[in-house]
Amino acid sequence: MILGISVLAFAVAAILARILANPASRMSILDHPNERSLHNTPVPRTGGIAIVLAVAMVLAGGFLSGQISSRIGWLVVAALLVASVSLVDDLRGLALRYRLIVHLVAATLLAYTGLHVAGEVWPGGLPAWPWWVSRFLAVLAIVWMINLYNFMDGMDGFAGGMAVIGFGALGVQGWLVGANEYALINLVIVAATGGFLVFNFPPARIFMGDTGSATLGLLAAAMALWGARDEVLPLWASFLVFSPFIVDATVTLIRRILRGERFWQAHKTHYYQRLVQMGWGHRKTVLAEYVLMAGCAVSAVFAVSLMPVMQWGIIIFWVLVYAVLMVWVDRLWLRHIQADC
């Protein structure tokens, strides 16, 4: 069942992405290079439509056939809200405040229909928060993940690869513990994104745009909260799975705030962006990121069944890995700047 539904999601997304990747198509909207871009020529940016429609159609079919419960309803509604406002932004541009309002509405909808912070936030940690605190934290996490994923969608094959590996890890963990519905939803997202990734892997013929990246961000946060609520995997494990995006985006944002920069404006100072600018190129950089993503995903799934002390050991290991990688990239970047002066 899971295989058949996943193949369907892949096929639908691939067909739609192929159509949208044609610059002559009426449905294609070109992304012209700007100060944040790492590409030099216009590329269609409506690929997110393929992902969203494939996921929505297949999940709706699963619900109508009785393979997916009604619990999926609010998730689909929230995802379509975010996808819709993001599509408007892709088409004609939309002020940040309006997008954030919709993000908050979607996040609040999910938080108050069951997806709140629950279970182990850290290994062995079961904080007894009041209900309103757990929901408030869930709203913050969802909104941040929506925007974080959008920030990180700046390189060919990057956001799509994170989705395939990240949701793939959540799906495998769901399958291992017998949470078949959870596994199915995640693997549908994997398959749909995989169909798009065929045309997005460097050199990309199409981008997912905000429609795809913002929606995937919401789904990542939602499935992390869902997994914690149903005791499929704790929140810290989902954090580790998506940490290649979370760490880069969060550390970069904090550094820009501390430097007094206009952190809300477009930029090219994420760690992955600097690697591309230093000559690594899209393909080499994204393949290196895939290795990092796979390492985090595998270790997170493996760590779930371990004792808390060993789980902490794995977390500390990855903290050290990220620290070393960031210092290394910072030093390379400094040499790159000095060489250009």
CA distance 140 to 126: 19
Structure tokens at 115: 């997806």
Q: How far is CA 329 from CA 23, 113, 248, 255, 272, in A?
A: 36, 42, 12, 14, 9
Cite the annotated binding site for Mg(2+) by residue number: 150, 210
Whether the CB-CB separation of 188 and 4 falls below 8 Å is answered with no
CA distance 301 to 120: 15
Give the mean pLDDT per block of 10 residues along the chain (341 residues).
84 95 73 59 88 94 81 92 96 92 98 88 83 94 97 94 98 97 96 97 92 98 96 96 98 92 82 94 95 98 96 98 97 88 65
Assign residue 115 a region: left if phi > 0, alpha if psi is -120 to 50, beta otherwise? beta
Measure the CA angle with vertex 104, ends 252 and 237; round to 5°: 55
Could you tell me the residue ranges of all domains in the chain? Answer: 2-340
Cite the annotated binding site by residue number: 150, 210
Taken in order 216, 15, 70, 171, is the CA torsion positive or negative? negative
Q: What integer pLDDT is reported at residue 35 of this predicted model? A: 58
Q: What integer pLDDT is reported at residue 32 of this predicted model? A: 58
CA distance 66 to 148: 34
pTM of the entire predicted model = 0.94
Q: What integer pLDDT is reported at residue 258 of this predicted model? A: 92
Burial class from Cβ neighbours inside 10 Å (0-12, 13-18, 19+) for residue 41 reads: exposed
Alpha carbon distance, N-terminus to C-terminus of the chain: 59
